[in-house]
């Protein structure tokens, strides 16, 4: 009977063309593409069923098949069977924008069907439902995207790369003053030689490794061999005219043992790199006392140099003059003199004068007279025999400002006159003279022009019309920037004075307030209480009081007689 009912109610196979029946009897929901929720009664029939109805029909047939497994004699029994099938039907990803914020939506549809079969008194009722469950997951960045106005760097064309290899100036090989710049050694230390040649430099500085890291990978044998090959081909004297610069992280004056060890390890690594390239000089900043006693810091620097000299062969350690910010050592010639005095091997230590630093530290290099006085002081305090190199930089900051701000030659507060003085000092011949002036967009042609400018100052007198015209030209170029710096400093100084005045006024008000408080406290001083002593006066006390009264009476007579009896 159950079989006949099922056959009468089952739709034809043509109605199920929208999906296929899998071999294990489970319905295949892979072709369902739209949500549907509806109830299907046992006697419902449509010529062309939607896919959701096909799902329900399949579930209903499954329930009927389960009924066939039981004997027809159990018609009077009651049983209930629930079948639930869940299967993912589709997954979509939508990418879009919402209020300038990128987002990604992952949409997942789940189709499930449930069939409840009830058998009672030989009659069967089947209720099947089918629906689609949709889940959406929105993925957004953890932080809002930052929109940068800076345009992306374009790749250089082949023509631009070729142009970068072309020389910007010829080297003046016969010039007694070896001028150059601090060139890049990116993509290989050997590239520093070609970069120096390109700007017409007869000397140059470089970083032997990243100055922002404590550790860097060692040189490859090809780096060393190519560097030496280029050096020989371009006729550079690596022992005399190359001046590597030490890492800005290193502080040999450091008291902390762990940090001092870290600094020394980086320092000695640089020295060994220099010797592997056959470079004879190594310039570095002396360091900072960090608030510790200055003489102790100087001693630590000297001890580090003595140790380093014993671990290396020939490289000379060159101390640079500093601008004098905070606890920095080297702003005075005496600091460098004291370090040299403690160095055991004097042939392994030297000094580099930085024109910007020394000017900011209070050494006036501008006029011929003040310049001569500074050079005389240097010779007396340190000695020209220790002078090993120069850094040529103008200053954005005024004289004696103790600020390390480099400016292009002739545009700053030093002016072109200071560099005319430098380029006519015979003691500087054959020393590496290195530019550390700023560049705009890494345009190294600035250095090529400055090298030629400095070379043109050799032999010019201070009153030479050619020099005076050049001095005025460069001074006018930098006038606006110098004025802006002065205005800024004046404003800052005025703010400082105003702050000090307010601080002083506040201190005066506080002092006045404390004074009034003390005066009030004196007025409110409590009198000695005698209430507890009433009725307890001793005989001796009474006698004392009576004697005092008699003395007062006697005193009164005496006073009257002393006034001449006029009262």
Going by C-alpha positions, the residue among 376, 375, 407 that lies closest to residue 392 is 407
Q: Which tokens belong to 14? A: 């043509």
Report pLDDT digits (tens) over 109-119: 444 444 444 44
Q: Are 59 and 19 in contact (CB under 8 A)?
A: no
User: What burial class does residue 287 get, using C-beta atoms within 10 Å of its C-beta: 0-12 exposed, 13-18 middle, 19+ buried?
Assistant: buried
458: tokens are: 């050799």
Q: Which residues are catalytic?
A: 212, 245, 248, 285, 320, 354, 357, 391, 404, 406, 436
Strand 79-98 versus strand 38-40 pairing type: unpaired
Q: What is the pLDDT of residues 29-47, one digit of tens each?
A: 444 444 444 444 444 445 5
Q: Is it the case that residue 495 has pLDDT exceeding 80?
A: yes
Q: How far apart are CA 430 and CA 253, in angstroms?
A: 31
How many residues belong to the chain? 567
Residue 552 confidence (pLDDT) above 80: no
CA distance 369 to 108: 86
Segment 382-400, tens digit of pLDDT: 999 999 999 999 999 999 9
Neighbours of 532 (CB within 10 A): 7
Are residues 237 and 214 in contact, defined by beta-carbon separation less than 8 angstroms? no
Domain boundaries, the chain: 2-89+113-131, 170-479
* pLDDT of 418 strictly over 90: yes
- Cross-strand pairs, 387: 351
Higher-confidence residue of 522 and 459: namely 459
Q: Specify whether domain 170-479 bears CATH 3.20.20.150.
A: yes
* 3-class DSSP assignment, residue 52: helix
Q: What are the distances in angstroms from CA 40 to CA 43, 131, 257, 345? A: 8, 12, 84, 103
How does DSSP assign 148-180, residue by residue?
P-SPPPPPPPHHHHHHHHS-SS---TT-SSEEE
Give the pLDDT confidence score for residue 166 in this predicted structure.
Answer: 82
What does the pLDDT read at residue 516? Answer: 85
Residue pLDDT, tens place only, 52-107: 556 566 666 766 665 555 444 444 444 444 444 444 455 555 555 444 445 454 55
Beta bridge partners of 395: 406
- Report residue 512's pLDDT band, with 50, 70 and 90 as the boundaries: confident
**What confidence category does residue 153 fall into, taking pLDDT thresholds of 50, 70 and 90?**
low
| Separation CA 186–CA 208 (nearest Å) | 10
Extract the tokens encoding 544: 């004392």
Phi, psi (deg, nearest 5) at residue 462: -65, -30
């Amino acid at each position: 009977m159950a079989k006949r009912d099922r056959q009468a109610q089952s739709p034809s196979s043509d109605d199920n063309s929208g999906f296929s029946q899998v071999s294990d009897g489970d319905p295949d929901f892979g072709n369902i593409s739209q949500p549907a929720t509806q109830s299907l009664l046992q006697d419902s029939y449509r010529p062309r069923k939607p896919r959701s109805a096909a799902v329900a029909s399949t579930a209903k047939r499954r329930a009927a098949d389960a009924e066939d497994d039981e004997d027809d004699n159990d018609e009077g029994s009651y049983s209930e069977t629930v079948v639930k099938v869940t299967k993912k039907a589709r997954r979509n990803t939508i990418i879009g924008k919402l209020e300038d914020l990128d987002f990604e939506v992952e949409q997942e549809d789940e189709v499930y069907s449930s069939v409840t079969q009830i058998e009672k008194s030989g009659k069967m009722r089947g209720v099947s439902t089918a629906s689609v469950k949709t889940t959406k997951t929105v993925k957004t960045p953890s932080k809002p995207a930052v929109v940068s106005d800076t345009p992306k760097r374009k790749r250089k064309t082949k023509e631009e790369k070729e142009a970068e290899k072309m020389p910007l100036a010829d080297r003046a090989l016969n010039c007694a003053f070896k001028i150059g710049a601090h060139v890049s050694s990116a993509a290989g230390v050997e590239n520093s030689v070609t970069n120096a040649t390109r700007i017409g430099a007869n000397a140059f500085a470089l970083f032997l490794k990243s100055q922002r890291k404590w550790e860097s990978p060692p040189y490859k044998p090809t780096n060393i061999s190519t560097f030496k090959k280029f050096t020989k081909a371009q006729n550079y004297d690596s022992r005399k005219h190359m001046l590597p610069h030490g890492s800005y992280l290193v502080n040999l004056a450091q008291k902390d043992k762990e940090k001092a060890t870290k600094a020394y390890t980086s320092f000695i690594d640089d020295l060994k790199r220099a010797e592997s390239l056959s470079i004879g000089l190594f310039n570095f900043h002396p360091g900072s006392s960090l608030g510790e006693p200055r003489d102790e810091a100087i001693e630590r620097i000297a001890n580090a140099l003595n140790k380093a000299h014993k671990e290396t062969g020939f490289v000379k350690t060159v101390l640079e003059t500093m601008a004098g910010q905070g606890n920095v050592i080297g702003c005075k010639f005496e600091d460098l003199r004291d370090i040299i005095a403690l160095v055991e091997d004097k042939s392994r230590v030297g000094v580099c004068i930085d024109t910007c630093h020394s000017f900011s530290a209070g050494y006036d290099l501008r006029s011929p007279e003040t310049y001569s006085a500074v050079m005389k002081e240097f010779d007396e305090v340190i000695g020209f025999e220790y002078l090993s190199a120069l850094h040529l930089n103008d200053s954005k900051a005024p004289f004696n400002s103790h600020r390390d701000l480099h400016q292009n030659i002739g545009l700053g507060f030093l002016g072109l006159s200071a560099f005319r003085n430098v380029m006519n000092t015979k003691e500087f011949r054959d020393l590496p003279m290195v530019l550390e002036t700023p560049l705009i967009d890494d345009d190294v042609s600035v250095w090529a022009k400055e090298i030629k400018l400095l070379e043109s100052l050799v032999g010019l007198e201070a009153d030479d019309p050619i020099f005076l015209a050049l001095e005025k030209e460069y001074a006018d170029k930098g006038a606006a920037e110098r004025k802006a710096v002065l205005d800024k400093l004046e404003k800052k100084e005025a703010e400082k004075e105003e702050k000090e005045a307010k601080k002083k006024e506040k201190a005066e008000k506080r002092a006045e307030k404390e004074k009034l408080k003390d005066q009030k406290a004196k007025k409110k001083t409590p009198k000695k209480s005698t209430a507890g002593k009433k009725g307890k006066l001793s005989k001796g006390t009474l006698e004392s009081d009576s004697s005092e009264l008699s003395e007062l009476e006697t005193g009164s007579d005496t006073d009257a007689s002393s006034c001449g009896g006029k009262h």
